[in-house]
Amino acid sequence: MAKLVVFSSENGLCPFKMADQLIVYEKIEKRWVINRKIKMNNQQPRSIRAQRKYVEELLPLIYDCKILVGKEISGIPYVVFDKAGFHVFQVNQLSDEQFEAIIREIHSIESDNAVKKEILKKAVPVPTENKDVYFLDLIKLQKRFPEVTSKQALKPFISQTPFLELHLYCKHTPPWIERDGRYIVESKPAKSDQYIVIKAKPNHK
């Protein structure tokens, strides 16, 4: 059953900072109806810590929803909701057609995420003939899937797989690897691109 949360004031749909209530809508059969209204204080705190706590205290009240709708939301409130896994939509008016459009977009996002998840399962370094030595052609991978970043392709592997060496064919050395003190990065001769070897320091494996 689809549900979404609308930021509302006495004038109806509004920015989050002006809202004095959250209205939860749900779709029953073919109609969008109000499920419940949640009163809130529209005089939001000014400090960052207080703002964060204020928004975090709203989360249990909308535990069964993952879609937020309002005229505007930014700053700390947006960060907290985004971190909690909410889809945030900024709109200027409410209607059943608008709600349906939001649901269609959510389905599209979730479908894209599912495809990307499958891509990332395959976008991992593979073992070589040598024990604990792995290889990944990042150039070939990103040519086929431009949306995959070096972090997405390598971080899960690096955090979960003990290794001695990771051989990487890439356009340039990922700066986040260079900054990581757990590894030694060595460049190997290559043509226009780079062939690097990432070696785990002894205390890492």
> 110-158: per-residue pLDDT in tens?
888 887 777 777 778 989 999 999 999 999 888 888 878 888 888 888 8
pLDDT of 1 = 60
CB 8 within 8 A of CB 14: yes
Q: Report residue 191 as tokens.
A: 């043509």
Q: Report residue 189 as tokens.
A: 């001769």
State yes or no: pLDDT of 205 exceeds 60.
no
Type of residue found at 30: K
Distance CA 149, CA 152 (A): 5
Distance CA 41, CA 20 (A): 6
Strands (E), the chain: 3-9, 12-13, 21-28, 31-39, 67-70, 87-90, 126-127, 133-137, 165-170, 183-188, 194-200
For the four alpha carbons of 177, 178, 179 and 183, in that order, the dihedral sign comes to positive
Q: Model confidence over 65-96: pLDDT tens digits? A: 999 999 999 999 999 999 999 999 999 999 99
The residue that leads in pLDDT, 190 or 64, is 64
Confidence label for 190 from pLDDT (cuts 50, 70 and 90): low
Q: What is the pTM of this model?
A: 0.62
The residue that leads in pLDDT, 139 or 187, is 139
